[in-house]
Chain A
């Protein structure tokens, strides 16, 4: 029956976190039609956060981070899938996830008129509804001949992580990390934990300043220094050097200094995988594919489509809590939630569709501390330490924008996050008011400027980008690709 949304052909492009969660949800919501998942990587879906944490410490092999599948494993062309979690007693036994996995194949184009996906192997896949979940890739070092030096790596995929872990295990003399965002900082932390000398070069004033603003960036600086990182801020790496056999030997800095190192990790942030959509007519650009709160893609004229959906790191969506600005997030939790909403809406008629309103949540483990964030810290003009203290490296920083709470970041105090999430969701007034049992009166009553720099001044791209009209000076204009 043509009008039945639970039947027909659905294609998902991108076989990672968002793609998998969407596929599972589609089946759980009763979609009985044909379901095809296309993925460029040869591996079945796996988890990325451990790649910069346990894997680099040698605590887990890179090929052990496979994502458990809610129903069963797909047919994998290479590595066997880790079996799903053991069935809990009392749970109904599930059918295996029924999907056709096209792994190791890149989608090269989208024909909206013909409702077809073009594949690199020359095939094309017709669809009735499409989900775009192509995520991001690591931003490479801008000079290709230098990026190609042996010993210059990036970190995004399982294969990248395996290579980097091997290199670290071999005991390099010094590691150079370019970019001190979350990924760069976690890599530096892993190096130190393994006892390896490491230099971190960051164009901004401090590590994490782009994500968390000036106050917590001070804490991040302290962490790097206390763990023996050779931290260079306010400098750019101008050139990577190699020897005659093409092996990386070091780098030149804009302040004239030279770093001798035998391993270089380029952690300059992420690039959205949108090139394959360049001629599609969708609103796809450097900040991702724009969609509405129901995950439906916009075309280049700003008209919403009804059969093309977007989820995960590749998406760009409006959020009411942040003045309906378009957000681009590189967050695990967002990929999961948005994929579930997209899948729900793909098989549900209009009046019962759901909006994707989840408050962004992100975490990072580095230098022995757990950093967790809720809301959008960069959407702020002020910040206050509401609980704990910088000195103890245990605190809750609360961010406000024009008198309401828009974000909170905990350091080793994640148990409190839920409370602040509720405050964000209810647009509670900023500052949060005194009374926290572990607040320091002289601190909690004095909000500071949040000091979020213009992302252009950073080495790495931000993991949260406000890509619409901006609250203050930081305006980014997004043009459609092509």
Chain B
């Protein structure tokens, strides 16, 4: 069978600044087997159809032996619901939603707007008198971290500790063909266990003495149906903390980068602030924080004329699907006023991003507040240096001159 090197090229750090030509090649090539055995899917409709196919599992323990990896062998560790299938996934996601969104907490995110705006203002105040700032370190990273800490009830001062754990966890799920993942996976398992213990301890301290944070809510839900076990609580809290601060940073940073590359659109957004929600959606399509997701077929699955065998990893390249010309007119154009923008930035199907309402509010507030500062700013480096991950893609730093 013909084997393709696209995945290798896509994950090559040298291509991080602009993977989009490779995605175009991928859509052209169709579904193909890669050097590491996995299959890449890059067209919009095929990705959507796989998102809704009940035979595609998020649970890596279903992988065939050569692809299974360390984590799948670890029987001790409770998996977070992003890595589980229904019905377990549904049960845990519903429990995690009780203090976060409808039907139990419909106003939770909306009620955080004021707080998010205040944190944003504080960060912006520190720009005062400076001519050069790093959008990542000075703004786009601290904002979502502070927000998710407040939301979960995690002390902001502990950030240096969990930043390291989070990095190890993210590393462990990165896709790097041709590299032995064992060490990364071992480090990821350990980090997850440590972070889980840390968060579960925090939650325990709030048992009977609840604050208005989510950890408190998890351990004090009066309804027995709302109870998470100790292990479930740890796994869920880790998922929320990691997901809550490794993605939004990229959305805000990519937003600044894209606006500074498209001055006309920057000016337009200043004139028409109502376009901001649409602009954030367009960023999720045009420069999404999450480029790829993995799934495992539980049966042989036919996609666009190719049979993907049971147990072999499938990589859904969301960032490619969101630029598919068969779905989006003029897909390589950044257009904040784009209509009919059902991008894949938050995924689709039962695992569709849980934190999407929060991420949207954060990005809208952050970019709106930044706009006045950007009109005279310039990129100090273009392209900026990128983080290593090809899955969660974003600049490591984004220095700009004010």
Contacts and interface: CB of A to CB of B under 8 A. Distances in A.
A387 B54 contact: yes
Contacts of A419: 49, 52-54
Interface stretch (B195-203, B233-241, B270-278): B270-278
B54 A386 contact: yes
Nearest to A436: B54
B337 A90 contact: yes
Nearest to A423: B53
B102 interface: no
A392 interface: yes
B90 interface: yes
A88 B59 CA distance: 40
A89 B299 contact: no
B298 A437 contact: yes
Contact of A415 (B275, B278, B349): B349
A310 B378 CA distance: 61
Interface in B283-303: 297-299, 301
A319 interface: no
The A interface is mostly helix, strand or loop, or mixed, namely loop
B350 interface: yes
B85 A418 contact: no
Contacts of A418: 48-49, 52
Contacts of B90: 394
Nearest to A90: B337
Contact of B278 (A90, A388, A437, A438): A90
Nearest to A412: B90
Contacts of A435: 54-55, 297-299, 301, 310
Q: Which of B54, B86, B274, B310 has the most CB of A within 10 A?
A: B54
Contacts of A388: 86-87
A89 B274 contact: yes
Interface string B155-177: 00000000000000000000000
Given A89-B278, A394-B87, A437-B85, A416 B52 contact: yes
Interface string A416-429: 10110010000000
Contacts of A89: 272, 274-275, 278, 337
Interface string A377-409: 000000000111000101010000000000000
B339 interface: yes
B274 to A, nearest CB: 4
Interface string B2-13: 000000000000
Interface string B295-326: 00111010000000010000000000000000
A91 interface: yes
Contacts of B337: 89-90
A433 interface: yes
A437 B339 contact: no
B278 A91 contact: no
A104 interface: no
B57 interface: yes
Given A434-B299, A435-B298, A435-B299, A415 B87 contact: no
Given A91-B339, A419-B49, A437 B57 contact: yes
Contacts of B53: 419
Nearest to A419: B52
Interface in A449-482: none
Interface in A75-109: 88-91
Contacts of B87: 388, 392, 394, 438
A439 interface: yes
A436 B298 contact: yes
A439 B54 contact: yes
Nearest to B54: A436
Contacts of B54: 386-387, 396, 416, 419, 435-439
A387 B53 CA distance: 11
Interface in B20-55: 48-49, 52-55
Contact of A433 (B56, B299, B339): B299
Contacts of A436: 54-55, 298
Given A438-B54, A438-B86, A415 B298 contact: no
Q: Which of B52, B298, B310 has the most CB of A within 10 A?
A: B52
8 contacts: A88-B339, A392-B87, A394-B86, A396-B54, A415-B52, A415-B350, A435-B298, A435-B301
Closest 4 CB pairs of A and B: A435-B299, A437-B85, A90-B337, A436-B54
Interface of B: 48-49, 52-59, 85-87, 90, 272, 274-275, 278, 297-299, 301, 310, 337, 339, 349-350
Given A89-B272, A434-B299, 16 more contacts: A89-B274, A89-B275, A90-B278, A386-B54, A394-B87, A413-B86, A415-B52, A415-B350, A416-B52, A418-B48, A433-B299, A435-B55, A436-B54, A437-B55, A437-B56, A437-B57
